[in-house]
Amino acid sequence: MSTAEVISEILQISSEKEQLKMENDHLKANSVNAQKFYNSALTTEAVASLHSVSTALVRRYVKLGYIEQHPNSTDAKILVRASTALLLDFKNLRYNSKHNIN
């Protein structure tokens, strides 16, 4: 490898490093730690609104065990941890539901 090739490689790595640093800074500035909301409870209506899905779908996934209930849930009121609700991926839940994956 010639000196010019080494210098070119170093410049490319330096550029990639700077780009990754900018991306990391952006992610840090625009991310939230979901675990901060671990003790907070949301109703199925709030979870449905947060993800633009129906309340019935949220209830069904809770009943199937795909979404964990908050300990303060009752028979009359299903609650979900806010930390769980923030991280839900309904596309993945739908896939798991169709393929009976727990």
pLDDT tens, the chain, 102 aa long: 899 999 999 999 999 999 999 999 999 999 989 999 999 999 999 999 999 999 999 999 999 999 999 999 999 999 999 999 999 999 999 998 888 876
Residue 54, SS3 per DSSP: coil
Instruction: Write the burial class of residue 33 (CB in 10 Å: 0-12 exposed, 13-18 middle, 19+ buried).
Output: exposed
* Nearest CA-CA partner of 42 in 66, 76, 78: 78
**pTM strictly above 0.85:** no
As given in the structure block, the two tokens for residue 93 are 């839940």
